[in-house]
Amino acid sequence: MGGLTGTGPAADGVDPQVLWARAYLSRVSEPANIPVWGFVGDVGPVEAVEAIRTGIAPREVLDATAARRPTADPDADLDAAERAGLRLVVPESADWPHFAMAALEYAGAERLAAYRAGGDGRHRESGEPIPPLALWARGPLELASLGVRSVGIVGSRAATAYGEQVSSEFAFALASAGVVVVSGGAYGIDAAAHRAALTAGGETVLVSAGGLDRPYPPGNATLFARVAEIGLLLSESPPGCAPQRHRFLTRNRLIAALSTGTVIVEAAKRSGARNTAAHCLALQRPLMAVPGPIVSPMSMGCHGLIRGDGGLGPALLVGSAADVLAVVGGAGEGLSDGADTGTVADVRAELDDLDPIARRVYEGLGARRFARPDEIGARGGVSPLEVIRALPLLELAGLVESSDAGFRIARRTRTRST
Amino acid sequence: MALATTLGVTLTGVQGQTVEIQADVAAGVPGLSFTGLADTSVVESRDRMRAAMGNSGVEWPNRKVTLALLPADVRKVGSRFDLAMAVAVLAAAEEIPPVELADTVWLAELGLDGRLRPIRGVLPAIVTARRTGARRVVVAQGNAAEAALIPDIEVRAAGTLRELVAWLRNEDGPPPLACSTDEPPELDGSADLADVAGQTEAKRALEVAAAGGHHLYLVGPPGAGKTMLAERLPGLLPPLDDDAALEVTAVHSVAGRLLDRARLIRRPPLQAPHHTATVPALVGGGTNLARPGAISLAHQGILFLDEAPEFRPAALEALRQPLESGLVVLHRGGGVVSYPARFLLVLAANPCPCGSRGRDCTCAPQARRRYQQRLSGPLLDRVDVRVQVEPVPHADLLGDALRRESTAEIAERVRQARRAATERWAGTTWRVNADVPGAKLRAGPWALPRRVLAPAQASLEQGRLSARGFDRVLRLAWTVADLNGHTVPEPGDVAEALYFRTGQVESWAA
Q: Which of A391-405, B112-126, B316-330 has the lowest mean pLDDT?
A: A391-405
3-state secondary structure of B117: strand
The pLDDT of residue A1: 39
A339 — pLDDT class (breaks 50, 70, 90): very low
Q: Which residues of A touch B349 (CB under 8 A)?
A: none
Query: Could you read off the pLDDT of A115-172 as tens digits, one per residue?
Result: 888 755 566 667 788 999 999 999 999 888 888 889 999 999 888 889 998 999 999 9
pLDDT in tens, B220-249: 888 788 888 998 999 999 998 888 888 898
The string of pLDDT tens digits covering residues B421-460 is: 999 999 888 889 998 988 888 888 888 888 888 888 888 8
Instruction: For CA atoms B71, B76, B80, B81, give the dihedral sign.
Output: positive
SS3 A10: coil
pTM of the model: 0.60
* A287-289 and A261-264 strand pairing: parallel
B377 Cβ partners below 8 Å, 6+ apart?
B510
What is the separation of C-alpha B448 from the centre of its chain, rounded to a whole number of angstroms?
36
> Does B153 or A418 have the greater pLDDT score?
B153
In the predicted structure, residue B504 carries a pLDDT above the cut 70: no
If one compares A37 and A329, the residue with the highest pLDDT of the two is A37
- Kindly state whether A405 is in contact with chain B, defined as any CB-CB distance less than 8 angstroms: yes
Q: What is the CA radius of gyration of chain A?
A: 26
Per-residue DSSP letter, B375: S
Residues of B in contact with A384 (CB under 8 A): 200-201
Closest approach of A284 to chain B, Cα-based (Å): 30
What is the rounded (10 degree) CA torsion for B173, B174, B178, B182?
0
B388 vs B214, B351, B505, CA distance in Å?
A: 16, 9, 13
> Strand, coil or helix: what is A365?
coil
Task: Give the integer Cα–Cα distance in Å for B375 and B373.
Answer: 5
CB contact under 8 A, A354 and B200: no
Ramachandran region of residue A34, left (φ > 0), alpha (ψ -120 to 50) or beta? alpha
DSSP A14: -
Chain B residues touching A406 at Cβ < 8 A: 388, 390
Give the pLDDT of residue A123.
Answer: 62
- Residue A200 CA to residue A172 CA, distance in Å, equals 5
Residue B163 confidence (pLDDT): 93
Is A7 a residue whose pLDDT tops 70? no
Residue A337 is predicted with a pLDDT of 44
DSSP state of B445: G
> How many whole angstroms separate alpha carbon A336 and alpha carbon A323?
10
**Residue B337 forms beta bridges with which residues?**
B330
B281-311 per-position pLDDT tens digit: 899 887 666 789 999 999 999 999 998 999 9
Strand, coil or helix: A261: strand
Instruction: Report whether pLDDT(A418) > 70.
Output: no
CA distance B353 to B361: 9
Question: Does A395 contact chain B (CB < 8 Å)?
Answer: yes
**Residue from A227, A324, A325, A343 to probe the interface with B (highest B Cβ count within 10 Å):** A343
Q: Which of A217, A327, A172 is nearest to B470 (CA)?
A: A172
pLDDT at B86: 94
The number of CA neighbours under 13 Å toward the Cβ of B312 is 10
Interface confidence: ipTM more than 0.85: no
Return the pLDDT at A343: 53
Give CA angle at B105 (B43, B22), nearest 5°: 50
* Nearest CB to A393; choose among B198, B451, B495: B495
Please give the residue that has the higher pLDDT: either B50 or B331.
B50
CA distance B240 to B99: 41
> β-strand B109-110 against B116-117: which pairing, if any?
antiparallel
Percent of chain A with pLDDT over 70: 87
Name every chain B residue with its beta carbon within 8 A of the beta carbon of A339.
Answer: 462
Predicted local distance difference test score (pLDDT) of residue B365? 73
Region A373-379: mean pLDDT is: 83
| Burial grade of B430 (CB within 10 A; 0-12, 13-18, 19 or more) | middle
The tens digit of pLDDT for each residue in B90-134 reads 999 998 887 667 789 999 999 999 999 999 889 899 999 999 989
pLDDT value for B393: 61
Q: What integer pLDDT is reported at residue B256 of this predicted model?
A: 80
- H-type alpha helices, A266-354: 272-282, 297-307, 321-328, 342-353
The DSSP bridge partners found for residue B158 are B140
Average pLDDT over residues A327-343: 58
**Which residue in chain A has the smallest CA separation from B387?**
A404
Chain A closest-CA separation from residue B395 CA (Å)? 10
CA distance B222 to B357: 9
Cβ-in-10-Å burial (0-12, 13-18, 19+) of A228 comes to buried
Residue A25, Cβ neighbours under 10 Å: how many?
26
CA distance A189 to chain B (A): 18
Specify whether the CB–CB gap between B68 and B36 falls below 8 A.
Answer: yes
With cut-offs at 50, 70 and 90, classify the pLDDT of residue A412.
Answer: low
Tell me which residues of chain B have a C-beta less than 8 Å from any C-beta of chain A: 198-201, 204, 219, 351, 357-358, 388, 390, 392-394, 397-398, 401, 442-443, 447, 450-451, 454-455, 457-462, 464, 491-493, 495-496, 498-499, 502-504
- Where does the pLDDT of residue B509 fall: very low under 50, low under 70, confident under 90, or very high at 90 and above? very low
pLDDT at A200: 85
Percent of chain B with pLDDT over 70: 90
Q: How far apart are CA B341 and CA B322, in angstroms?
A: 6
User: Average pLDDT for residues B23-48, to the nearest whole number?
Assistant: 90
Closest CB to B451 among A346, A396, A405: A346
8 Å CB contact between B23 and B46: no
Torsion on CA atoms A282, A287, A292, A294, rounded to nearest 10: 40
Within 8 A of B356 by CB-CB distance, chain A residues are: none
Alpha-carbon separation of residue A289 from A262, A265, A293, A299, A314 (angstroms): 8, 6, 13, 9, 9
| Packed helices B491-499 and B450-461: angle between N→C axes, nearest 10 degrees | 30
Which residue(s) pair with B259 in the sheet? none
Other Cβ atoms less than 10 A from the Cβ of A49: the count is: 27
For chain A, the distance separating the N- and C-terminal CA atoms, rounded to the nearest angstrom, is: 70
- Among candidates A132, A96, A133, A137, which has minimal Cα distance to A233? A137
In single-letter form, the type of residue at position A148 comes to V
Residues of A in contact with B397 (CB under 8 A): 378
Report d(CA B347, CA A143) in Å as an integer: 53
Provide, rounded to the nearest whole percent, the portion of chain B with pLDDT above 90: 40
B353-386 pLDDT per residue, tens: 877 655 567 777 777 778 877 888 788 888 889 8
Q: Give the DSSP letter string of B158-181.
A: ESBHHHHHHHHTTSSPPPPBP---
Q: When comparing pLDDT for B439 and A206, which is higher?
A: A206
**B95 vs B352 pLDDT, higher one:** B95
Name the residue of chain B whose CA is nearest to A178's CA. B450
Cβ of A201 within 8 Å of Cβ of B450? The answer is yes
Q: How many CB atoms lie within 10 A of CB B79?
A: 18
Cα–Cα distances in angstroms (integers) from residue B172 to residues A219, B140, B169, B176, B230, in the given order: 79, 18, 8, 12, 54
DSSP A393-405: HHHHTTSEEEETT
